[in-house]
Structure 1
Amino acid sequence: MSSTAAKPAGAGAGTKTLNSLGRRPPPSSVSSNPLPPEHLASLIDRCSSSLRHILQIHAVAVRSGHHLHPIVNLKLQRSYSSHGRPDLSLSIFRFTPDPNVFLWSSIIHSHAVHGLHHTALLLFSQMLSSPSAPLPNAFTFSSALKASPLNLGRALHAISLKRSFDSDTYVATALLDMYARGADVAAARKLFELMPTRSIVSFTAMVTCYAKTGDIDLARQLFEEMPDKDCVCWNTMIDGYTQQGRPDEALLLFRRMLRSGMMPDEVTVLSVLAVAAQLGSLEFGKWVHSYSANNRIPLTMRLRTALIDMYCKCGSLEDARMLFDEMPHRDVVAWNSLIAGHAMHGQSRQALSFFSEMLKAGIQPTDITFIGVLNACSHGGLVEEGKSFFSSMEKDHGIEPKVEHYGCFVDLLGRAGLVEEAYEVMSGIARPDPVLWSSLLAACSLHKRMELGEKIAELLITNGLANSGTFVLLSKMYAAERKWEEVARLRRKMKEIGVEKEPGCTSIEVDRKVHEFVVGDLSHPKSKEIYAMLEEIDGLLEAHGYVPQTEVVLHDLEEAEKRRALAVHSERLAIAFGLISTRPGTTIRIVKNLRVCGDCHAATKLISKITGRKIVVRDRNRFHHFENGCCSCGDFW
């Protein structure tokens, strides 16, 4: 491989900087007389925290002719890399005649740690193929492994065995990390068990491997066995729980991390903001925001975007918008968060307005952008706009629709009652996803299209694609038609194939503590007061003309029993607890793991009017803002 082939686009810019360095005046702290290379190397170490100082010392090195001295050269390379300028490191390397193995290893490592894997591997390939280049050492191999995908990593493993580098601690750890990144658990575990000594890095790599492949409990077991824990391994476990949808355990681990005296970093904050978003815990999310500011964790673009996403998912669009407006630069990820956030809250026109602003700002949309845009159309019933955006994806922006986009489009048509048109769209997809069929089945249930709903449910059940939601939706359709024998048949079928209905659960945060309720819950310490408040609410609802929607009850019960069953839904229990636990006028925020039922939706509208409270409900699909007897969704959800 030629030298030219491995030269990245940024090398030219770096060369220009290098050529101009000789014309800069030396720093005032350095004598105009030539300094020996040992002094220059020492100066680089002492001034490494400032890129400006490194550039000045580099200029002095060029003037004195010591910029090609192996020690000075190596230290300059590493300093530029540590300041995020691998392009400058590469410029130095390209002008170095006959670089030694340390310089080769350093430049490969510099690109690998900055995620420039393609360039790192090109340099490594050039080193192996060039007759004038030195043979790679263990550090070279460990650096190349950081950039290697699984297939290439296996080949490097074979070469390292041939050259007896596998016994080197750094190479062994890099191999373990490579297999962990590639999710090859068996190979990673075998390497880990053969290690004579295990560093904190090797432990963390193995924990990462288990967490990444979904075996979070085994990851936790290994985490507890670690003799020492740094911030990276704490972050790995917290993020593992978050990715597996176990935010409560992630939160407990974060609190334990703080008690241990370990200082969180930006990665920790990003993970716990995701925890706050999953829990819908606005108070905790605000605390994390305040904590990061008080502990001087830099407010990077990634962190700002994560905060915007958290505030949107915790129900505070005002905080999200304030952060967005304060951003000095906005990338497409930040715009996506704002668009998706407003779509989730039913502010469809505002979401589409932001999309227009984004295009005017010259930001190119991504596939994620269009998921937010199509969701905005779906939640707002904007059928024609949705059709236009779906068509423009590929035509105007070169983005081929994925299953998620088809899901949003089918949901848009289905919610609007165009179930036959949605079915035609589904029929035109080569391999329709079961999630799409489930979305269409939900639309059939909503609009009482029994015949098509049965057809879709039968397709899912026959092909082994049915989940608990399939049976629940079909049961709702039969219950609405009072076909109780069919409801019972479905219940038996669920038992036969081992499908269990996901239990409804609603949470509410009061004084930084999250309280969870299930239907008919009696486990809360304040159950007596909660049920007393429920009884009071029921009386007020009846006085305001509320009529329970008993048709949503999926059991053949007497009317009075159905009314009692509806009165103790988890949403109603959480709202009652909020009423007795917060000051009058305080907004009540609850999170439901399933779609809020029609009866609870109607009741909550009246409760907001009777109590004068704003009630914000986040269910599986979206946010509902109840205020003075109305809901932000306009009864379209």
Structure 2
Amino acid sequence: MSSTVITVTTQTTTHNPSLPFWPTTAPQHVLRADRAALLIDKSKTVNQLLQIHAALLRRGLEHHPILNFKLQRSYSSLGRLDYSRTLFDRTHDPDVFFWTAIIHGHTFHGLHQQALLLYSLMLTHGVEPNAFTFSSILKACSIEPGRALHSQALKFRFDSDVYVRTALLGVYAKVGDVVSARHLFDTMPDRSLVSLTAMITCYAKHGDVDGARLLFDGLEMRDVVCWNVMIDGYTQHGRPNESLDLFRQMLSAKVRPDEVTILSVLSACGQLGALELGRWLHSYIKSNGILVSVNVGTALVDMYCKCGSLEDAHLVFDRIINKDVVAWNTMIVGYSMHGLSQDALELFSSMCTLGIHPTDITFIGVLSACSHGGLVVEGRAFFHSMKDKYGIEPRIEHYGCMVDLLGRAGFLDEAYELVQNMKIEPDSVIWGALLGACRLHGNITLGENIAEFVFANGLANAGTYILLANIYAAAGNWNGVAKIRTMMKDSGVQKEPGCSSIEVDNMVHEFFAGDMKHPNSKEIYLMLEEMNGWLKAHGYTPQTDIVFQDIGEAEKEKILGVHSEKLATAFGLITTGPGTPIKIIKNLRVCTDCHTVTKLISKITGRKIIVRDRNRFHHFVDGSCSCGGYW
């Protein structure tokens, strides 16, 4: 280190108490270059750096190589890349360390194109990169420049460096090139935790969660990032139970969760509808001093909404400071999925009054609220205002909401016309919404025409077949039902099995239709018999017309009697105390028979029963449902 002496003159009138290391007296204070370097390294704010920089300028030492380098790096890390770039541009004949620092600054701030341009300029100036240059610039690369840099890393013989190879692995992992990523990983002489985490990320992100778990289980040491990648992999790929199991293992291993962990686990709770586990996690956040940022607060709102507790969701929402549009959207969607359409629209109005500009997601929530509430006039107005007032081009999801709204309300011709005039190609979900409306209103002719078009254009999915079969079954057209069954078999299409889950004592129990695998099956089926006795005493008649099989009435009644949500309800009745609410999550739309049965059971038992199906929440209280029969 140079022993250059820096003289800094300060006046008492310019004393800054936020700088504890800065001189506080009027006389001159003499600093060596090593002391100035230490001051730069300790700087926590841009203001502190500016004062040190000013002192260096007064002494003509702004070109001191070490001090200049440290200033550039510190400005960048504190968010003033413009200052850092200005210093760099004024640096005479910068070496590879200066170039690498400025490249790293641009990649760190997401300015990837500029970082790549700087790398090219460095080569143009005849400066050869080092391993740190490659590990920095590769973070800015998509696949094509990444492959080019891979070649250059080979040329400069840095490809075996663990940091360079890990960065290269990350490039291939981002685009799902698992083969190339795995080849790099397998040929690494030394595998760091970072490289292992990058490989696990590659498998989780691209569908091979089990492959990722094999790598994860083979790790001798795991940091919080590694745990997060695996937990989030399970959550993102619809395996929330495994996500929560792994989170419990993480806590047992004494690894402290961070915000990323919390966001993933809250999402898993929401998928499962695991309210009590979600509440425990909320309590864990509070007791362990984890900051409830806007992101965490929004994730809590989302979890509570999906787990059926709007009261908790609203309490959290009200306490979020500086709510962003994502937080508002989450609460609006929450009201919508619970059928509280007017509350959703009032919240939208409040958001706009506060000057928060809605997004396309906002309007998905608003239009869904209109659909669940049958608010046709309001829905039309909101749909047109998207582009006219807010400059938002409708996406496929917005068209889907409108088709659902119009179709449910009986405006089939208008819904069909909207689909035909869409600016984007309608997908299977849009056609499915139309088919569902045809089934609801018994319009067989339109339903057949739509189905014929969907089949001919390769847009059919399992739902398409089921909806058309339901239309035929409701009309007693068993030949039509048989034809659909044959088409499904020939096409290899399988109906998604109905599955209902219920959380009891922090454990989530899953049931399929006719399930006999649960340890309490005997007690569950005894309760089903008792429930059937209650129902018959209250005049219940099974709605066998929704069973699209050409079999006897008795067989149809047996099929209806063991639907998954009925099994879950029976389990809830035998495992929870009188008066305790029962919360059930179902993967498909609740059928009309189960809807009727659940209304009656809520009246007979005096229990509140909350059912979340694929479309929305149903709150059953004293024989009535919050949906008002509109779902």
TM-score in same-fold range (> 0.5): yes
- Tell me how far apart the structure 1 counterparts of residues 404 and 465 of structure 2 sit (CA, whole Å): 19
User: Could you tell me how far 1:461 is from its partner in structure 2?
Assistant: 2.6
Q: Secondary structure at the match of 1:432?
A: coil
| CA–CA distance in structure 2, aligned partners of residues 617 and 120 of structure 1 | 52
Residue 250 (str. 1) matches residue 243 (str. 2) = yes
Deviation at 1:443, TM superposition (A): 1.3
Matches within 5 A, 1:196-275: 196-275=189-268
How big is each residue's C-alpha offset from its partner over 1:451-480, in whole Å with a ceiling of 9 and x where there is no partner?
111222222233333222122111211221
Tell me how far 1:394 sits from its aligned partner: 1.7
CA distance in 2 between counterparts of 1:575 and 1:558 reads: 26
Contact 2:96 2:129 in 1 (8 A): yes
Does residue 536 (structure 1) correspond to residue 539 (structure 2)? The answer is: no
Aligned ranges for residues 173-572 of structure 1 at < 5 Å?
173-429=166-422, 431-572=425-566
- The CA distance in 2 between the partners of 1:433 and 1:265, in whole Å, is 39
**Does residue 147 of structure 2 align to residue 151 of structure 1?**
no
Which stretch shifts more, 448-457 or 253-262? 253-262
**Matching residue's letter, 2:333:** A
Looking at structure 2, the residues matched to 631 and 244 of structure 1 have their Cα atoms a distance apart, in angstroms, of 32
Q: CA deviation at 1:251?
A: 1.7
Matched letter for residue 100 of structure 2: S
Give per-residue Cα distances to partners, 1:561-587, cap 9 Å, x unaligned.
322322221111111211221222221
- Aligned residues with identical type, % of pairs: 60
Give the distance between the partners of 1:534 and 1:351, measured in 2 at CA.
37
> Paired residue for 2:8?
none
Q: Decide whether aligned partners of structure 1 residues 279 and 85 sit closer, same or farther in structure 2, where only a CA change above 3 A counts.
A: farther
Distance in 2 of aligned mates of 1:63 and 1:215: 60
How much does 1:169 deviate? 2.3
For 1:35, what is the secondary structure of its paired residue? strand
Q: Does residue 35 of structure 2 align to residue 39 of structure 1?
A: yes
- List per-residue Cα deviations over 1:365-386 (Å, max 9, x = no partner): 2211111111111111111211
Check whether the contact 1:414–1:440 (CA below 8 A) recurs between aligned residues: yes
CA-CA distance at 1:599 after TM superposition: 0.8
For residues 472 and 200 of structure 1, the distance between their equivalents in structure 2, rounded to whole angstroms, comes to 48
Give the superposition deviation at 1:62.
5.8
TM-score normalized with structure 2 length: 0.91
Aligned-partner residue type, residue 480 of structure 1:
A
SS of residue matched to 1:236: helix
The 1-side partners of 2:20 and 2:426 are apart by 69
Structure-2 change in CA distance of 1:256 and 1:447 (3 Å): same
The code of the aligned residue for 1:634 comes to G
Partner of residue 115, structure 1: 110
Find the counterpart in structure 1 of residue 10 from structure 2.
none
| 1:514 alignment partner, SS class | strand
Kept after mapping to 2: 8 A contact 1:23/1:59: no
Q: Which amino acid aligns with 1:562?
A: K
Q: Which stretch of structure 1 is more off in the superposition, 102-111 or 409-418?
A: 102-111
TM-score norm. by structure 1 comes to 0.90
The 10-residue stretch of structure 1 (511-520 or 579-588) with the greater mean CA deviation from structure 2 = 579-588
Query: Which string of whole-angstrom CA distances, capped at 9 and with x for unpartnered residues, describes residues 100-139 of structure 1?
Result: 432332232233234343443344344445x4x8443221
**Contact in 2 for aligned 1:37/1:66 (Cα 8 Å):** no
Query: What does residue 101 of structure 1 align with?
Result: 96
In structure 2, the CA distance between the partners of 1:633 and 1:94, relative to structure 1 (3 Å rule), is farther
Amino acid aligned to 1:117? H
Q: Deviations over 1:212-270 (max 9, x none)?
A: 22222222223233343222122111111211111122222222222222222111111
Distance 1:365 1:569 in 2: 40
CA distance 1:64–1:572, shift in 2 (3 Å): farther
Deviation at 1:311, TM superposition (A): 1.2
Residue ranges of structure 2 left out of the alignment (5+ in a row): 1-12
**What's the RMSD between the two structures over aligned residues?**
2.5
Offset at 1:590? 0.5
Change (3 A) 1:58 1:260: farther
Residue 100 of structure 1 contacts residue 134 of structure 1 at CA under 8 Å; is this kept in 2?
yes
Do the aligned partners of residues 538 and 87 (structure 1) sit closer, same or farther apart at CA in structure 2, a change above 3 Å counting?
farther
Identify if the C-alpha distance between structure 1 residues 613 and 482 changes in structure 2 by more than 3 Å, giving closer, same or farther: same
1:616 maps to: 610
Q: 1:56 to 1:405 in 2, by over 3 A?
A: same
User: How far did residue 356 of structure 1 move?
Assistant: 1.4
Matches within 5 A, 1:12-161: 25=16, 27-31=19-23, 33-45=29-41, 47=42, 68-83=63-78, 86=81, 89-90=84-85, 93=88, 96-129=91-124, 131=125, 134-161=127-154
Q: Please tell me whether the aligned partners of residues 34 and 64 of structure 1 are also in contact (alpha carbons under 8 angstroms).
A: no
Q: Residues 294 and 321 of structure 2 are in contact (CA less than 8 Å); yes or no, is this contact kept in structure 1?
A: no
Structure 2 residue matching 1:34: 3-state secondary structure: strand
In the alignment, what sits opposite 1:580?
574
- For the residue of structure 2 that corresponds to 1:226, the secondary structure is coil
Shift of 1:509: 0.2
- CA 64–532 in structure 1, closer or farther in 2 if over 3 Å, else same: farther
1:89–1:279 Cα change, 3 Å: farther
